[in-house]
Amino acid sequence: MKSMTHRVRPFASSQRLPDIDEPLARHDPEEAADQLAAFIRRHPRLMILTGAGVSTDSGIPDYRDGDGAWKRKQPVQHQAFMGSFEIRQRYWGRSLIGWPVMQKAAPNPSHHYISELEQAGHSRLVVTQNVDRLHQRAGTQAVLDLHGRADEVLCMDCGYRCSRDEVHERCADLNPGFLSYQAGVAPDGDADLDVDFSDFRLADCPTCKGILKPDVVFFGDFVPKSRVQTALDALKASDGLLVIGSSLMVYSGFRFCRYGKEWEKPMATLNLGRTRAEDLVDLKLNARIGETLQATLRQLR
């Protein structure tokens, strides 16, 4: 088996999904549901891989457009965060604005429909690339947070762990002048804020004064081997793979389609826009996620 270790690698900012001559046809949700329900009936026990498109209706934006291009500045890189005090100032300063939006986000119908698929016995494991914990809040029991969870913070020196809310409150107390800013929000709780952060005071580890970082896998970092192996074990034991709301531009998610193809697993994608796995999957549905899942569940009942 191939190595389980890999770095989270986005495509370059200028790179889009492969050009295809004909325009991508949009499926009517009812039509898409007919095909998806048939796929699930044939392959009733699936591994479900979800991406940012599942959480957009919760007010958490995604990173990319329908062609796979960045809709905002690329997220912070792990090496840059760890190596630069100024970049940590900027990240935590922007998070002071962005985190409350993540904090208030609630599961949307898509999260609840995926939970219903699990309750009906159609999901062996939900592997999510999102860090918002909304699947768990919607009631899904078997969830793997592939890229970690944004609601917890980890000391990179001593391993101290605490809630994101605690660090947010400390940063707010240290930097009251930053609370008045408003900005667009990124899927990891970052914000599109371009101001002078040189006076921003960082909250450090209360145990060792070390670097605090959200317990998420930043771009350029590695997904822990154990998480990858858990997902691969679930995929191997499943009847197929269903990808929902992901363009699969990040290799940590795309790799499961590669393995699925190698293991001859039936695969389907439900996404608003193209995916990186166009040539690998058996069923490609370009349709609104919530409406399609709702109609699919109606047919499966």
Give tens-digit pLDDT for 194-209.
Answer: 778 899 999 999 999 9
Contact between residue 164 and residue 214 where contact means Cβ atoms under 8 Å apart: yes
| CA dist., res. 40 & res. 62, Å (int) | 27
Contact between residue 45 and residue 254 where contact means Cβ atoms under 8 Å apart: no
Looking at this protein, which amino acid is placed at residue 265?
K
* Residue in 111, 122, 147, 168 annotated catalytic: 147
Q: How confident is the model at residue 61 (pLDDT cuts 50, 70, 90)?
A: confident
Residue listed under structure tokens 């400390």: 170
Residue 257, annotated ligand binder?
no
pLDDT digits (tens, 9 = 90+) for 136-193: 999 999 999 999 999 999 999 999 999 999 999 999 999 998 887 665 555 565 656 6
Domains of the chain, with CATH numbers?
29-58+74-300 (3.40.50.1220)
* Structure-token pair, residue 4: 């389980």
**pLDDT value at 12 more than 80:** no
| CA dist., res. 14 & res. 280, Å (int) | 23
What's the whole-number mean pLDDT along residues 44-61?
Answer: 96
Contact between residue 253 and residue 223 where contact means Cβ atoms under 8 Å apart: no
Please tell me whether residue 103 adopts helix, strand or coil conformation: helix
Quickly list DSSP for 208-273.
Answer: T---EEEEE--BTSB--HHHHHHHHHHHHHSSEEEEES----SHHHHHHHHHHHHTT--EEEE-SS
Please give the pLDDT value at position 15.
Answer: 42
Please tell me whether residue 70 adopts helix, strand or coil conformation: strand
Active site residue 122: no
Query: Distances from the Cα of 54 to the Cαs of 51, 164, 224, 296, 297, in angstroms?
Result: 6, 22, 23, 16, 16
Looking at this protein, which amino acid is placed at residue 293?
L
* Structure-token pair, residue 175: 């930097």
**pLDDT value at 57 more than 90:** yes
The secondary structure element, H or E, covering residue 167 is helix 164-174
Please tell me whether residue 144 adopts helix, strand or coil conformation: strand
Of the two residues 172 and 20, the one the predictor is more confident about is 172
User: Any idea which of 12-21, 33-42, 205-214 has the lowest mean pLDDT?
Assistant: 12-21
Contact between residue 93 and residue 100 where contact means Cβ atoms under 8 Å apart: no
pLDDT digits (tens, 9 = 90+) for 64-117: 555 555 445 678 899 999 999 999 999 999 899 889 888 999 999 999 999 999
| CA dist., res. 49 & res. 146, Å (int) | 10
Residue 162, annotated ligand binder?
no
Contact between residue 37 and residue 292 where contact means Cβ atoms under 8 Å apart: no
Phi, psi of 260 (to 5 degrees): -60, -40
Residue 171, annotated ligand binder?
no
